[in-house]
Amino acid sequence: MGQGFKAYAVAMLVPIARLRRRLAPLTRLWSHARLRERITSPLDPSVVVLATPEIHGTGRLRLGRGLYLYPGLYFETQEEGTIEIGDEVVMSRGVHVVAFHGIRIGAGSMIGEYSSVRDANHRRDGDQALRWAGHESRPIEIGRQVWIGRGVTILPGVTIGDGAVIGANAVVTHDIPAGAVAVGVPARVVGAGS
């Protein structure tokens, strides 16, 4: 089985790669249709959906035009929560967005891989199990043309101004002004964008 099998396996990879490239447009169409059926507002045909996002809760998402949605996205809306994403936003692989109140992401913003945007935290209520104690939520506002690096966590009640840059792995606990560069845990402003 040694070299012969290895040569056969390598030879098979080329046709498989070609087939995947040919099927990519159909996969995108299928993913677009699946997303469209799971949300409560229309989905513009210009939205590129590389793989169907995971949708939980009420499906109250409003998605702008020209979005680029990578695989592995997770959207959840509970209670009165809504998620609004402006035009031309890029959401990289593995981004989680969870709204119990409301999250708005401005046009042209980019969110790096495995970032988390959550407008609610679990409440502690005496002896009641944390899972059932409910949530406290405050809206999150991310401005236009904001660049959020890989692995960033954005917590409830935060506003990030237009054109801000949030460095990789930062935890944003307070407002970040427009045009600022913020890094660290907790995130702090270290300068202005270029």
Q: 32, 56, 101, 122: which one is catalytic?
A: 122
Please name the amino acid found at residue 122. H
The reported pLDDT for the residue numbered 102 is: 96
- Among this protein's residues, is 135 annotated catalytic? no
Q: Which residues pair with 136 in a beta bridge?
A: 121
The order of strands in the sheet holding 171-172 is 54-57, 74-77, 96-99, 116-118, 153-154, 171-172
Q: Residues of the chain whose pLDDT is less than 70? A: 1-3, 5, 7-26, 193-194
| pLDDT score for 25 | 62
What pTM was computed for the model? 0.84
* Whole-number pLDDT of residue 129: 82
Q: How many CB atoms lie within 10 A of CB 5?
A: 9
User: Which CATH architecture fits 2-192?
Assistant: 3 Solenoid (2.160)
- Per-residue model confidence (pLDDT) at position 68: 96
Residue 168 pLDDT: 96
3-state SS, residue 134: coil
